[in-house]
């Protein structure tokens, strides 16, 4: 069955829950609640990558995430660090993280690939075309799913050249990153192009803008976005996704269970 990654944003400005879990104790409690709800991995982030977000100094990022990672990893929980920074990735792995989730796929920090290679952690490579502050200006594709697959293939080659074994690589097509609304649907419909690259695939649609745009009216509400997230996560699992990354673990767990029962 598809793994579920629970999101723990230790940030002040994440688009959905910025500021809720900036206190380490609250972040740890939230992570434990997500695990109880069925999360297989907890993805801890200290810098928002929402559209228009500004960068955070790595020292501030580490101050936010390391106590949370240490506390959760000490309980035997599989923890991922969501970061663009090589120094944060290395410090997080030393603190107990087993996965580095880099939405830039090594493009934001030239030291990232070497840091991950030396760490021994698994590496989630995101599709990225530039910083969140202006990423939509780069949203030009001929065929989104094939273009994204081709660009991810290049990042895999770079990672391999840095010494990261294929078995350690996870691919994320970067839903919402440098992609307009309809382009996200094109990537999801063409998920075979990314799955066909032969690596584990991580899908993150959780509460993203393109879902609200599709729902219309009051689609911006958290409840409706969570329902849409659960549906897209179940469909992604059916299309071959190895894991889905979500805010509402319980809703997605239920959707995956029903889809699994349907398929027998």
* pLDDT above 90 as % of the chain: 83
* pLDDT attached to residue 75: 97
CA distance 119 to 108: 18
* pLDDT attached to residue 132: 72
Average pLDDT estimate for 25-44: 97
What mean pLDDT is reported for the chain? 93
| 61-118 residue pLDDT tens | 999 999 999 999 999 999 999 999 999 999 999 999 999 999 999 999 999 999 999 9
Average pLDDT estimate for 20-44: 94
Largest alpha-carbon pair distance within the chain?
48
Which of 66-70, 166-170, 218-222 is predicted with the least confidence, judged by mean pLDDT?
Answer: 218-222
| Alpha helix stretches (DSSP H) within the chain | 24-37, 58-73, 86-95, 112-119, 144-161, 181-189, 191-195, 209-215, 222-238, 249-263
What are the angstrom distances between the C-alpha of 231 and each of 33, 202, 204, 257?
A: 22, 15, 12, 12
* pLDDT above 70 as % of the chain: 95
Which of 66-80, 120-134, 222-236 is predicted with the least confidence, judged by mean pLDDT?
Answer: 120-134
CA distance 121 to 90: 9
Query: pLDDT band for position 135 (50/70/90)?
Result: confident
Q: Which residues are the active-site residues?
A: 208, 245
SS3 helix, strand, coil % of the chain, rounded to 5? Answer: 50, 15, 40
Residue predicted with more confidence, 1 or 248? 248
- What are φ and ψ of residue 68, in 5° steps? -70, -45
Does the pLDDT of residue 16 top 90, yes or no? no
* pLDDT attached to residue 38: 98
- pTM for the model stands at 0.94
CA distance 99 to 109: 17
CA distance 229 to 244: 10
Task: Give the 3-state secondary structure of 139-156.
Answer: CCCCCHHHHHHHHHHHHH
Cα 121 to its chain centre, rounded Å, is: 16
* pLDDT attached to residue 219: 61
């Amino acid at each position: 069955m598809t793994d579920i990654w629970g999101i723990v944003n230790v940030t002040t400005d994440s688009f959905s829950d910025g500021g809720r879990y900036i206190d380490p104790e609250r972040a740890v409690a939230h992570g434990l609640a997500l695990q109880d709800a069925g999360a297989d991995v907890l993805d801890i982030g200290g810098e928002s990558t929402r559209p228009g977000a500004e960068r955070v100094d790595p020292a501030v990022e580490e101050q936010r995430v390391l106590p949370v990672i240490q506390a959760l990893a000490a309980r035997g929980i599989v923890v991922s660090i969501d970061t663009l920074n090589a120094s944060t990735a290395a410090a997080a792995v030393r603190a107990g993280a087993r996965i580095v989730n880099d939405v830039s796929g090594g493009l934001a920090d030239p030291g990232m690939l070497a840091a991950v290679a030396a760490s021994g952690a698994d590496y989630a490579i995101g599709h990225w075309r530039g910083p969140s502050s202006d990423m939509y200006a780069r949203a030009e594709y001929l065929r989104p799913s094939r273009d994204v697959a081709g660009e991810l293939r290049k990042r895999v080659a770079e990672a391999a050249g840095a010494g990261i074994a294929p078995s350690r690589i996870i691919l994320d097509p970067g839903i919402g990153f440098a992609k307009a609304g309809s382009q996200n649907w094109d990537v999801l419909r063409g998920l075979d192009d990314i799955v066909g690259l032969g690596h584990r695939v991580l899908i993150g649609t959780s509460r993203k803008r393109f879902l609200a745009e599709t729902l219309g009216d009051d689609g911006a509400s958290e409840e409706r976005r969570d329902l849409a997230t659960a549906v897209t996560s179940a469909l992604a699992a059916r299309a071959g996704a190895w894991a889905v990354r979500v805010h509402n673990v319980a809703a997605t767990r239920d959707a995956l269970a029903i889809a699994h029962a349907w398929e027998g």
